[in-house]
Amino acid sequence: MKASQLHIFNPSCETAIANGTVSYVPNKTLLHFENDLAYLSSILSKNTDLVLVSEYENMQHLELLHSLSFPVPGQILQSDFFDLQQKIISEIEAYKLWGWAPNWIHRLKKNSRVNCPVFENSSFYEWKQIHRDIYSREEAKEILSRILNLGDGQVYISSEKQPKKLFDIESVEKFLSTHQRIVLKEPWSSSGRGIMMLRKSNLNTSIIQRIKGILQQQGFIMAEPMLDKKLDMSLHFEIKKGALSYFGESYFKTNSNGQYQANFLNQTEQVDPKIVDFIDVHKEQLKKDLLKSISESEILKYYEGFFGVDIMLVEEKNKLVFQPCVEINLRNNMGTIALHLQKLIHPEAIGSLNIVFNPRDTFENSYPKVQRTMALQDGLLVKGTLALVSPKGKRFGAYISLD
């Protein structure tokens, strides 16, 4: 059997990079997340591709997706793909990981019976220290510094609001004393995980212990002043054969702890028109400055694929400005999924892409509470809800809701 591409959903990639070992296995919750949402990668695929799954998706649900013009690639079980006795596949054109990490690179290289020249010739075939470095939040700090040095104080945050790299508890305490309300971030983490919002002027025992754990495991911690955020957005790019190109913009929402909740589709949040006007006026400059700064970084040399740059619109000294590089997600992300989904959605429809988790019930039982049959207009999705993975037997789920 031959397939053009094999899509692998591994959103624990940053945690795996922080761990650093080829034997890393996600914790139980992360593993459920990866397995339950594995077929989400199909949205980035073609019908001739394959998606690696732990269990086959429900055929009835796949037929529904197919009827709505979603790509419905084939599936291959992890247990079969990594069973050296199986002969079900011999050649893959390319591995399309959600995000590169040493544990998955090791697993793919170990499966030597599968021929994949694109992988063997890629910069990621041999995981190096430079790969670990570009995935760090420190790299985002360097990109931010380049943008701020371009000199437009009317559009971006002031230089004193930049993150700092700290190595000990004493430095964290001093930073907190200076800024009163701060955000601490693990150097390698994603989707709002590994973030501590400190709104009080002292560190309690549990926070100190957590900081010490991060310092011991990852070597340092990133600290930044808490900003007066008005909106979350991201710009998305692709690097292909050493060329950097712009892919699109997306808007998303997080909870009070900075953890990702949903992406908006064909809309932003209901916000002050002044915010929309500011974005419309300055978005091209933001895009231009990001393209220039990234093109001068190590990312262009050592990364290939889609990635997103998270951006905040904030208020500083009674005016709106961008924090133009909060973090860089060198992987596919829910913004990438949202941009692909919008090709299937009617331009007049508005809604959201939602990732949900119910520790006390399954997605199958909770999803029907909001379910409305998806309707089409001009062959595009226009109204209703639609699960993007089979709801049956899963704790994690993904669905779109359109009005």
DSSP assignment string, 285-340: HHHHHHHHHHHTSTHHHH--EEEEEEEEEEEETTEEEEEEEEEEE-S--HHHHHHH
Which range is least confidently modeled, 22-31, 81-90, 234-243?
81-90
Sign of the Cα pseudo-torsion (320, 323, 324, 327, in order): negative
Q: Tell me if 281 sits within 8 A of 322, measured CB to CB.
A: no
Give the SS3 label for residue 180. Answer: coil
Report the pLDDT value the prediction gives residue 8, as an integer from 0 to 100: 97
212: alpha, beta or left? (left if phi > 0; alpha if psi -120 to 50):
alpha
Report the pLDDT value the prediction gives residue 288, as an integer from 0 to 100: 95
186: confidence class by pLDDT, cuts 50, 70, 90: very high
Rounded CA gap, 149 and 207, in Å?
Answer: 34
pLDDT digits (tens, 9 = 90+) for 105-129: 999 998 877 889 899 999 899 999 9
| pLDDT at residue 102 greater than cutoff 60 | yes
Report the pLDDT value the prediction gives residue 192, as an integer from 0 to 100: 59
Degrees to nearest 5, angle at CA 348 with 66 and 247:
70
Over residues 129-149, mean pLDDT: 95
Over residues 128-135, mean pLDDT: 95
Report the pLDDT value the prediction gives residue 147, as an integer from 0 to 100: 95
Print the SS3 string covering 93-143: EEEEECCCCHHHHHHHHHCCCCECHHHHCCHHHCCCHHHHHHCCHHHHHHH
Tell which wins on pLDDT, 47 or 256.
47
pLDDT digits (tens, 9 = 90+) for 49-82: 999 999 999 999 999 999 999 999 999 999 988 8
Q: Tell me if 400 sits within 8 A of 354, measured CB to CB.
A: yes
| pLDDT at residue 24 greater than cutoff 90 | yes
Nearest to 259 by CA among 174, 368, 185: 185
Which of 106-120, 184-198, 221-235, 249-263 is predicted most confidently? 221-235
Over residues 266-285, mean pLDDT: 86
- Please provide the average confidence, as pLDDT, over all residues in the chain: 91
Over residues 310-317, mean pLDDT: 94
Report the pLDDT value the prediction gives residue 235, as an integer from 0 to 100: 97
Report the pLDDT value the prediction gives residue 259, as an integer from 0 to 100: 80
Report the pLDDT value the prediction gives residue 191, as an integer from 0 to 100: 60
| pLDDT at residue 5 greater than cutoff 70 | yes
| pLDDT at residue 168 greater than cutoff 70 | yes
Report the pLDDT value the prediction gives residue 270, as an integer from 0 to 100: 66
Per this entry, what is the length of the chain? Answer: 403
Q: Tell me if 363 sits within 8 A of 387, measured CB to CB.
A: yes
Sheet holding 74-77, edge to edge: 74-77, 50-53, 2-8, 91-97
